[in-house]
Amino acid sequence: MSRIGKKPVPLPKGVSASISGQSVEVKGPKGTRSFHATDDVTLTLENDAVKVTPRGTSKRARQQWGMVRSQVENLVTGVTTGFKKELEIQGVGYRAAMAGTNLKLSLGYSHDVNFDVPAGVTVTTPKQTEIVVEGIDQQLVGQVAANIREWRKPEPYKGKGIRYKGEFVFRKEGKKK
């Protein structure tokens, strides 16, 4: 029995869900999201909650049971509160600024990096050394944050680069004479 899959996904006030076959569409104050589940599970709407049950006792059905329930819960969370990733930039002269829909990054290269922000995600820079990525799609928010971080990962000697807020970077000592 899946401990995660057993729990129904409650729908808060202002959120509605519609199920048609293997598709779930969730509408909330921040927007609309949908998910198509595999044929190994059954989706039902009971008492303002989405319930996921496996079809059969195969290993794949049991695997999909918890995963589909987590995906549906992420849809509900996305349309109610949304998802957020915070990045911080460390390094002398490293900074970020928004220019329209582009994120302009100065990361010590001979040129500035222009990062195109995809639709469905909003990127803000409250300070020159902070980047906030927000949206209703958890996967897209995480991917955009990872793509921004990829331009200059934190290095272990001085700790310079782009890191997630609260991320620990293991520091190395460096050469000795």
Single out the residue of 71, 65, 57 nearest to residue 6, CA to CA: 65
Give buried/exposed letters for 141-160 (b at 16+ CB in 10 A, else e): beebbeebbeebebeeeeeb
In the chain, domain spans: 3-80, 83-164
pLDDT of residue 1: 64
Model confidence, pTM:
0.87
According to CATH, the topology of domain 83-164 is Outer Surface Protein A; domain 3 (3.90.930)
DSSP state at residue 66:
H
Single out the residue of 83, 75, 6 nearest to residue 37, CA to CA: 75
- Which superfamily, per CATH, for 3-80? Ribosomal protein L6 (3.90.930.12)
Average pLDDT, the chain: 92
Dist CA 156 CA 21 (whole Å): 50
pLDDT of residue 5: 85
Residue 87 has pLDDT above 80, yes or no: yes
Token pair listed for 156: 């272990």
Q: What does the CA dihedral 74, 78, 81, 83 come to, rounded to 10 degrees?
A: 90
Q: Give, in order, the Cα–Cα distances in Å from 114 to each of 12, 63, 91, 100.
A: 39, 41, 18, 11
Does 83-164 match 3-80 at the fold level?
A: yes
pLDDT tens readout for residues 129-173: 999 999 999 999 999 999 999 999 999 999 899 999 999 999 998
Mean of pLDDT values over 107-117: 93
Q: State the DSSP H helix or E strand holding residue 23, giving kind and residue range, or none if neither.
A: strand 23-28
% of the chain surpassing 90 pLDDT: 84
As a residue count, the chain comes to 177
Q: Do residues 82 and 134 touch, judged by C-beta distance below 8 A?
A: yes
pLDDT tens readout for residues 28-77: 999 999 999 999 999 999 889 999 999 988 999 988 999 999 999 999 99
